[in-house]
Amino acid sequence: MAAITFDATSSGLATSATTLTVAHTISTNADSVLWVYVINSLSGNLVTGITYNGVAMVYVSAVQNSGGRWNCLYKLIAPTTGTNNIVVTLSSADRIEMYAASYYNVRQSPLPENWALNNPASTTSITPIITTFSNQCWLITGFNPSAGGGSAGTGAFSRIVASGGYGIYDTNAAFPKGNPSMTINCNSGPASAITAVMEPSPVLTDGIVAYYKLDGNSNDYSGYGSTGTDTAITYSNANGKLVQGAGFNGTTSNITTSSGFLTLQFALTLSCWIKPSALPTSGNFMSLLARFTNSAGTFGYDLRLQNTSGVNQINWHITQGNGTNVEAIYNTTLTLGTWVHLVAMNDGVNSSILYLNGVQVATASGANNSTATNNFYIGAINYNAGVTRYFSGDIDEVGAWERPLYPSEVTELYNNGVGMQYPFNQGAPFLLKLI
């Protein structure tokens, strides 16, 4: 995982106004998030909206300090880089006290991973009780001590705090999943806090359960040991996108592995480079990556090239076992002898997405009831008819993740058509195939 990193802060105050405008600068780093914490009216939460660079921010929560002012927290993922205005709008003129903090390398969804409210009638400190479900998370808290005296206690850092201790605190460090501790002190009296959890943005090695470089063999480089068994496979530089790749003859070639993963009981992403030497005839299909049961093919999935009544298509196909197929289909005729990158994913709940060369080209909805128990196949499929639907052409860099990839990660894998090979060291050179 990439480490969450602080970016910038800003603040502003209007004693009697309906709007407050404050400039805030977002860096060009990846996976940014902007948090805005507002303390406003005694009579109710008058905030009707907050924008950054004209884009509406998303409401997270609000709480009233016991007998005191209302506090609210807003967020915005992927805010526009550069210096732009935060605009807070109230329904009627009142005091507006605003604090903003931005961070990067933050997972964009779900965000926040979790959140909590604290509103004691009298206290000298607040320690938010909150659970984090991932490692390396940060906490961020908007804090309002009515009696003043707010200060960072154990595990807390004063990120942007005014005189009296009003403002934004965070942990300034990552915690393992569980119940992190962060204490904010204050003078005796009522206080309120809104705390949110930030999870770090993933890196491409997170959640990977199988990876086949296909550089002369079908070894699994993920560390899970799901090495393949080859049938009529040709390995060479000419068959590879990066270094070597696997050649499939269209009649008997396949690679099979008995991986305990890739069952679609959970979220799943598949990625591969392919260079077809033939396309299926009308009414037929060629399977690229597949896993089914042996029972009439009633459960399972495959990424396939198909021809429907003369129309060439790419199909991310899931069979649910109840007579229902979930298919993300894209009509396209691939150019023979040309490499293309495919990514197929399912979120484990209700959504399937298909990417071609880094671009989302098809989606499908439907509850994921599929459980595939047969071997995982590359270049063919095995269900009620046995091993069949052979692919003709070359396949390289087959990866599988037990999570959905972010669109930015799909773009990263495609790498402007160059590709990336496990372990995806962006800053390091990779080996190009020899021509």
Q: Is the pLDDT of residue 434 over 70?
A: no
Contact at 8 Å (CB) between 201 and 30? yes
Residue 287 has pLDDT above 80, yes or no: yes
Report residue 252's pLDDT band, with 50, 70 and 90 as the boundaries: very high
Alpha carbon dihedral 228, 230, 231, 234, in 10-degree steps, equals 140
Give CA–CA dist 286/257, Å, rounded: 19
In this predicted structure, what is the pLDDT of residue 432?
45
SS3 356: strand
Q: What is the pLDDT of residues 366-410, one digit of tens each?
A: 756 556 667 899 999 987 668 999 999 999 999 999 888 888 889
CA atoms within 13 A on the CB side of 425: 6
pLDDT at 431 (0 to 100): 44
Strands (E), 309-391: 311-319, 325-331, 340-346, 351-356, 359-365, 376-378, 381-383, 386-388
- List, as own/partner pairs, every contact residues 426-434 make where C-beta atoms lie below 8 angstroms and the sequence separation is at least 24, other chains included: 430/242, 431/242, 431/243, 432/242, 432/243, 433/237, 433/240, 433/241, 433/242, 433/243, 433/244, 433/245, 434/237
What's the whole-number average pLDDT of the chain? 90
Question: Which H or E run includes 407?
Answer: helix 407-414
What are the tens digits of pLDDT across the range 66-86? 868 899 999 999 999 999 999
Give the model's pLDDT for residue 97. 96
Going from N- to C-terminal start, the domains of the chain cover 5-198, 208-417
Tokens encoding 135: 């490692």
For residue 430, pLDDT beyond 50: no
82 or 41, higher pLDDT: 82
List Cβ neighbours of 159 (8 Å cut-off, separation of 6 or more): 6, 9, 101, 140, 167, 168, 169, 170, 172
Contact 148, 164 (CB under 8 A): yes
pLDDT at 333: 98
So what's the pLDDT on residue 247?
Answer: 98
Give the pLDDT of residue 428.
40
pLDDT of residue 366: 73
Distance of CA 181 to the CA centre of its chain: 26
Lowest mean pLDDT among 19-23, 231-235, 262-266, 408-412: 262-266
- Percent of residues, the chain, with pLDDT higher than 70: 91
Residue 11 pLDDT > 70: yes
- pLDDT of 6: 98
CATH topology of domain 208-417: Jelly Rolls (2.60.120)
Is pLDDT at 30 greater than 50 in this prediction? yes
- Is 322 buried (19+), middle (13-18) or exposed (0-12) by CB count in 10 A? exposed
Tens of pLDDT, residue by residue over 85-113, are 999 999 999 999 999 999 999 988 778 88
- Quote the tokens at residue 117: 């409210």
Q: What pLDDT is stored for residue 231 in this prediction? A: 98
Indicate if the pLDDT at residue 203 is higher than 80: yes
Q: How many angstroms separate the CA atoms of 151 and 63, rounded?
A: 20
Q: How far is the C-alpha of 218 from the C-alpha of 423, rounded, in Å?
A: 16
At 408, which helix (H) or strand (E)?
Answer: helix 407-414
> What is the mean predicted confidence (pLDDT) over 35-47?
92
**Beta strands in 233-299, from DSSP E residues, in sequence order:** 234-236, 245-249, 254-257, 268-276, 285-292
Q: What are the pLDDT digits (tens) for 322-349?
A: 667 889 999 999 999 999 999 999 887 7
* Cβ-based neighbour number of residue 149 at 10 Å: 14
324 and 342 Cβ atoms separated by less than 8 Å: no
Tell me which of 177 and 377 has the higher pLDDT.
Answer: 377
Q: What is the pLDDT of residue 2?
A: 79
Note the pLDDT tens digit of each residue in 299-313. 788 999 999 999 999
At residue 147 the predicted structure's pLDDT band, cuts being 50, 70 and 90, is: confident
Contacts of 268 (CB under 8 A, 6+ apart): 262, 301, 345, 346, 348, 400, 401, 402
Confidence (pLDDT) at 370: 58
Q: How far is CA 159 from CA 8, 163, 170, in A?
A: 9, 13, 6
What is the Cα gyration radius of the chain?
Answer: 26
Residue 350 has pLDDT above 70, yes or no: yes
Residue 197 has pLDDT above 50, yes or no: yes
